[in-house]
A and B are shown apart, each in its own frame.
Chain A
Amino acid sequence: MSNTNPPDSGDTAWQEYLTGGGASAGAAAAGGEGAAPPEGPAAPHRVIGTPPPAAARTMLPASGDGGARPPARELPPDPDDPVRARKAEFVVVACFLLAMLAGLGFLVAYGLIGVGSVTATLHSNLALGLTLAAALLLLAIGAVVWVRHLMPTVELTEQRHPMASDAKDKRAFKETWEEGAETSQFVKRPIVRRSLIAATVPLGIAPLFLLRDLGPLPGTSLDTTVWRKGLRLMTYGTNPPRPITPAEFSSPGGLISVGPEGYLDDDDAMAKAAVIIIKFRPGELQFAPGWRPVANKVVQNWTVDNIVAYSKICTHVGCPAALYEQTTHHILCPCHQSTFDATQGARVIFGPATRPLPQLPIGIDSQGFLIATGGFAVPVGPSFWERS
């Protein structure tokens, strides 16, 4: 141990302990070790607290051979201020007794207050929490008052030594190390050494191989969603889900979350296939004619009666972009505030997202319900390495 003590406390005390420690064996050692006084005069030995029998016996051989220097007492036995200590004692006892009561209160509260409803749970939580807290805090306060006012103030100084070992020890270590290396033949016989290393390498890599089956390879699965031609747009969050006709979704400014028919309970599918449809007034949408996405425009042939469908999955890191401001036609992702202009093909107008929300081509089936007329033309959701 690097811990060393003031010369008059540590080692001497240890010797004292040894001297009188073990009842008979220690006594035998006493003659040898106790008879090696470091220096200094013999002073009456004072023992901290109640002297244990072993330590009490120490005094006899110590004074007998007049050699071993007893350690100077380092901690005062009594509090600094006896009057204050008396008051403190009262406070400490009060704290501990109250802590005990609070602890009992905890047990009683556990027994009396049941759970099973929001109100009951809150009551139970309050009662259990406050009694527990009271018990703990009263214990803490009692202990602090004890330390501060019942225990005498003390300040000790312990010596510190440089962390670095001295040259002799370092040299000895080096020699031992080299001796071992030499004896082991590890250095002398390179063929053994190399074959050992060769043997461990495959074993070291093996765990990495085992990690391979943590999941399937992504392949092109991120490029597509379950949307395909003919799937109805079903309302999400209603029970049961139902298909939508353009007529019943006639009020401009409305927004509905929808999913592909048959996949609403499939979280893996919905994590990419969630869609919002928004109804606009005539003339609000900036259309691009034709069948292909154009930057900052809504593909006209992919809309029905000024209803546009966009992916709900934010192109930043994939939160549902769920907030819609009717007056400005902004779609806002609440996670990181990427903002998309719904009238301009959901182009990004603020925030960290780099790409617009992809538009889903929609049409109407024979029964007049909204359907997808194809999948998304581009991958939905956050960017990934393989995405071009």
Chain B
Amino acid sequence: MSAAVFARIHQALAVAAGEPVIAHGILVLQIEPAALASTVRALKEQFGFDMFLDVTAVDWPDRIPRFDVVHHFYSTTAHVRVRLKTRVGIDDPVVDSLVPLYGAARYMERECHEMYGIVFRGNPDLRPLLLYEGFVGHPLRKDYPKQREQPLVPYRDPPQ
């Protein structure tokens, strides 16, 4: 059943031609940043993807453009999942916010923003969520030093 749904979605939405890419039972669509909002709107309104599962990013330090912004959606009627991958570069890591379409995007985009530095154009509130005010840098980027700490309380001197 899901194969037929995937084929229809792929035919209607995929920019690149060719066979639909299915990874672990999920349809994967590679799209341009400019096409993100319209693609998601079509997924929601035409294909019934009513649940926004997650947004995260993948950092490929040696690749240009450097980041994959990865969205996951689920259809509670067709019981299928779809994954969108959007490539953005380090100079302009901006994609459209999905807050107008899915309320859940508010918090997930905040997390992705602080961890990877992706800017979600149109999200009204990109304050730190898990991190704190004053934290410098984006800890899940590959070039963040893994032992760099930014303590809020000064350490005791000498620690005993």
Q: Do A and B bind each other?
A: no
